[in-house]
Amino acid sequence: MKAVILCGGQGTRIRDVSEVLPKPMLPIGGLPILWHIMKIYSAHGVNSFILCLGYKSWKIKEFFLNYREMASDFTMSLGVNEPIVHHGTPPLLDAKITFAETGEAAGTGARLWRVKKYLEGEERFHFTYGDAVADIDFSALLQTQSLLNATGVFTGVRPPSRFGEFAAENGRVSRFHEKPNTTGGSINGGFMVFDNRKVWDYLNDKENLSLESPESMGRMALAGELGVYEHPGFWQCMDTPREYGILNEMWEKQNAPWKVWD
């Protein structure tokens, strides 16, 4: 299976951390949160990625094009024709990556639509945001989608909410609201699975189309085609400077539940 990761948003709420880097490149323990997300998938055998790029996309491309230099020590000589000497090896990341330019200001639904051609031949695919980590049980997530035979299944989590609230019964979502003002229930934590044969009926190329809108996931819910996997474990997004600090502190203290790899 392939995993599609949204990497194109402008991350306005976390600009105080960096005006230079796009949010997926903000580091946890010296490596971008995007790298951590990819490591989570790779630990579960998912090694083929499609990155939906937009805002400051070159910074993401630059990191991976120069991965060995970006992630490890090296010595180089200026003015003489000598090869770069690398010291040690960079942190392992088993990955095949497609870098897809999906627009500077496109909505999340439009971004997914624009990578459709890279998903040909896939029965289903993973999909997530480029700003959250978790210790997801991907086997349980996939099993939920299989049992429900739903167009889409997302991971439900229960942190303080400002994201997409939903109501569900027996694993099937009956109501989905994008980013409510208040909530007392579970929210959409990303880490989704979509049926590649059916999901495109709920998407189009409209520039401002949001995947989380009534037009897309809202319609899936009304049609009985949207499911939820209720995740009982750890989940944390990195949407504000405070959350950035929380994740880095957890990593520094070697208390990072999302580190499911050796």
Residue 261 in domain: no
- Read off the pLDDT band of 169 (50, 70, 90): low
- Tell me how far apart the terminal alpha carbons of the chain are, to the nearest angstrom: 22
Residue 228 in domain: yes
How far apart (Å, rounded) are the C-alpha atoms in residues 112 and 90? 31
Structural contact between residues 135 and 233, judged by C-beta atoms closer than 8 angstroms? yes
The CATH code of the domain that includes 124 is 3.90.550.10
Per-residue pLDDT at 160 exceeds 60: no
- Residue 177: helix, strand or coil by DSSP? strand
What pLDDT is attached to residue 161?
A: 45
Residue 260 in domain: no
How far apart (Å, rounded) are the C-alpha atoms in residues 145 and 143? 5
pLDDT per position as a tens digit, 30-48: 999 999 999 999 999 999 9
Domain that holds residue 188: 2-75+91-252
Residue 81 in domain: no
- Read off the pLDDT band of 175 (50, 70, 90): low
How far apart (Å, rounded) are the C-alpha atoms in residues 138 and 81? 48
What pLDDT is attached to residue 80?
A: 84
Residue 84 in domain: no
How far apart (Å, rounded) are the C-alpha atoms in residues 204 and 122? 19
Residue 104 in domain: yes
User: Is residue 233 packed enough to be buried (19+ CB in 10 Å), middle (13-18) or exposed (0-12)?
Assistant: exposed
What pLDDT is attached to residue 262?
A: 85
What pLDDT is attached to residue 174?
A: 63
User: pTM higher than 0.85, yes or no?
Assistant: yes
Strand partners, 75: 85
Domains in the chain: how many in total? 1
Residue 262 in domain: no
Which of 10-19, 83-92, 118-127, 138-147 comes out lowest in average pLDDT? 10-19
Residue 199 in domain: yes
Q: Read off the tokens for 187.
A: 């929210």
